[in-house]
Amino acid sequence: MSVNRSTSNNQWITKGIIKSCKRKWDLFLLTRDNNDIQLKEYCKKYSKILSQVVRTAKIQHHNNLIIKSNNTIKTTWNIIKNET
């Protein structure tokens, strides 16, 4: 099975996050066919940690955009508009 991944304009996505997402998908495929409880717990913990990393990367990226901008209010509203 192949998945088409579209290119994204999200600049906060790093190579490490992409690699971790691929690892998470592989773990999911393993746990789907396996009844090992430890493997499922590991997958769940991995998923939680990855979610925290993604959330932190997004926040840091948005903070950097706001800090570097000349018009912080306009930048803030553009970020809100893009996220909704």
pLDDT per residue as tens digits for the range 58-68: 999 999 999 99
Domain contains 78? yes
Domain contains 76? yes
Q: pLDDT, tens digit, for every residue of 71-81?
A: 989 999 988 89
Per residue, what are the HEC states of 48-61? Answer: HHHHHHHHHHHHHH
Domain contains 2? no
Q: pLDDT, tens digit, for every residue of 1-53?
A: 566 665 567 888 889 999 999 999 999 999 998 889 999 999 999 999 999 99
Task: Please tell me the total count of domains within the chain.
Answer: 1
Domain contains 54? yes
Q: Shortest CA distance to 13 belongs to which of 56, 45, 47, 44?
A: 56
Domain contains 61? yes
